[in-house]
Chain A
């Protein structure tokens, strides 16, 4: 079973700062997801990555398959970015039914101060 580690666990930043959240996993995957959970509790899917880099607005996600590592970057951070960011990985497609099963990191709690 994959072990997913996120760092840091908690992060406090000043508004406008560049933020990086890291995710490492132990065995090969078919895809990695970055999720955002706001204080109200709802979970939103931000990115799904199997290689390279994706960008959406001020958010950038990268993945290095060889190093089993992904990063989520937030440029020009804003208080509304305050949330818990969760990394989740999917097993390879040859896992059959198991390839749908996500393994989650414990999350990174981000607080952006005005």
Chain B
């Protein structure tokens, strides 16, 4: 079945710097790759997603890139702010015809003022 690896497990940056989180997946049939942000005491919230027919997607300060050949995808956050501090999860779809996601182990991002 699908396996998703996520790196790094923790990431500390200064406010204004960029942050990059990387994930790899194993199932070449995966076609949907969402990213979630989890703030303290809350459930994960979808922040951006990308489908396999697209190589890059951007939404203001966040962007996601997908390399299907290498089976990896990345989250890029530019001009980081303290409120970006959270745990970020990547995920990849598993199986066909059904919405099942396999999640990475999470990255704790700390943005220092």
Q: Do A and B come from one complex?
A: no
The residues of A with any CB-CB pair to B shorter than 8 Å are: none
The residues of B with any CB-CB pair to A shorter than 8 Å are: none
